Amino acid sequence: MSREIIVKEAMKTNLAIVEPDTTVLEAAKLMKKRKIGNVIVVEKKQPVGILTESDILKKVVAEGKNAKDVTVKTVMSTPIIVTEPYITLEEAINTMGKCSIRRLPVIEDGKLIGIITQKDISLISPILHEISREWYDITVRDETHYKKQIFSGKCEDCGTLSANLKNVDGRLLCDDCIDALKYE
């Protein structure tokens, strides 16, 4: 019987990272140079968003904006769902499908260490690729599963950057603000 592959074994660690004030043109040039479809947006070493080719097409090109004049922070997808390195690829593809996303930045001890994509998983496991295709045929996001995920971005109460935000009554909060709620 073969053991299951975990995210840490399949993720990419050579990340393309930009800061929020980077222009979309600079980010797009980095994507082209690295032959990838996304960059992780990092502020104070914390991932706060992701910029994809799709974001650029829909929010810059289709809107007739000049990529030299648009900063990444204005068009990036944020907050982002993140994962830990020790879950299985099946768990990762399940999260991607249920949350309607194709990429999961990987966080360990509060630090960004890699990214796992639907494409990475499909290259390793064609069976998991079929499962992911079935999930993408379901166009409605599984809100219950989505709300249970760990997010990375800014706490909606205190504004602190965190790679461990949790959904509390529809707001993404850091551990300190969640603890403060318990004592109100």
Classify residue 23 by its DSSP letter: B
pLDDT of residue 175: 85
Which has the minimum average pLDDT: 37-41, 84-88, 135-139?
A: 135-139
Nearest in space to 85 (alpha carbons), one of 115, 55, 117, 129: 115
What's the angle, vertex CA 151, arms to CA 111 and CA 146, rounded to 5? 145
The CA–CA distances, whole Å, from 95 to 22, 40, 90, 118, 150 equal 29, 19, 9, 11, 11
pLDDT digits (tens, 9 = 90+) for 161-178: 788 888 888 888 888 888
Nearest in space to 133 (alpha carbons), one of 147, 123, 118: 118
Q: Domains in the chain and their CATH numbers?
A: 7-182 (3.10.580.10)
Determine the average pLDDT of the residues in 69-78: 94
d(CA 10, CA 14): 12
